[in-house]
Amino acid sequence: MRDLIIAIDGFSSTGKSTLAKLLAKELGYLHIDSGAMYRAISLYALENGMIHGEEINEAELLPQLEFIDVHFEWNPETGRNEIYLNGENVEEKVREMEVSSKVSLIAKIPEVRAHLVELQRKLGKNKRIVMDGRDIGTTVFPDADLKIFLNASAEERAKRRYEEMLKTDHPASFEEVVANINERDRIDSTREVSPLRKADDAVLVDNGRLTPQETLQEVLEIIQNLPK
């Protein structure tokens, strides 16, 4: 099989990162969670008092973007690439509800998107990469060798996210999770820059009734049937 760039897009909590991790491990590829990069910037803005309610202090944030170090490092204990913010492992912090509630606001800022898209393209320059997010197949890698668009009902996605958060030190109510899912869908789909949408040449995979392993097998079959 030739070296590939595989782009996985989809709505919040469709299991994009889970699929990307499993797929990267199966193929021996590098996995990059682009959403974690936006979450890291959101965490930085929160920790530095740049977010007030639904307002972002862009005048303060934007000049600092080039000095914010966001990168991934392999953790042999967990067997995954984990996100670092200015030298600190923030893999767990960026999953908290406070960050989840603000990340779509940060992600719709054109300058933030341009900055992170540039970083993401550098990470994928050598191919053999699985990257997941919301605009990977449409903006970051429009010429990706394979584009997958994951979808599931909002109810199923909220259930998955709620069960994940129950296992953390920062659980949220099911109602909070549903509200967050719906609001992120709205913001992601209607933002002016790189809105969330299925690329015309992406393969739609509805995994609402599929386990992570079943989703992986379906995508592996798609890869096996790619033109040589």
**HEC per residue, the chain:** CCCCEEEEEECCCCCHHHHHHHHHHHHCCEEEEHHHHHHHHHHHHHHCCCEECCEECHHHHHHHHHHCCEEEEEECCCCEEEEEECCEECCCHHHCHHHHCCHHHHHCCHHHHHHHHHHHHHHCCCCCEEEEECCHHHHHCCCCCEEEEEECCHHHHHHHHHHHHHCCCCCCCHHHHHHHHHHHHHHHHHCCCCCCCCCCCCEEEECCCCCHHHHHHHHHHHHHCCCC
- The pLDDT value given to residue 1: 67
CB distance 141 to 5 below 8 Å? yes
Q: Which is more confidently placed, 170 or 143?
A: 143
| pLDDT above 80: residue 169 | no
Q: Binding-site residues for ATP, please?
A: 10-18
| For range 28-55, the mean pLDDT | 95
By percentage, how much of the chain surpasses pLDDT 90? 78
Q: What integer best gives the mean pLDDT of the chain? A: 93
Q: Binding-site residues, please?
A: 10-18
Band the pLDDT of 80: cuts 50, 70, 90. confident
pTM of the full structure: 0.83
- The pLDDT value given to residue 96: 92
- The pLDDT value given to residue 15: 92
- The pLDDT value given to residue 144: 97
Domains of the chain: 5-224 (3.40.50.300)
Q: Is 31 exposed, middle or buried (0-12, 13-18, 19+ CB in 10 A)?
A: buried
Per-residue pLDDT reduced to its tens digit, 138-162: 999 999 999 999 999 999 999 998 9
Per-residue pLDDT reduced to its tens digit, 89-111: 999 999 998 999 999 999 999 99
> 70-75 and 80-85: which strand pairing?
antiparallel
| pLDDT above 70: residue 196 | yes
Band the pLDDT of 87: cuts 50, 70, 90. very high
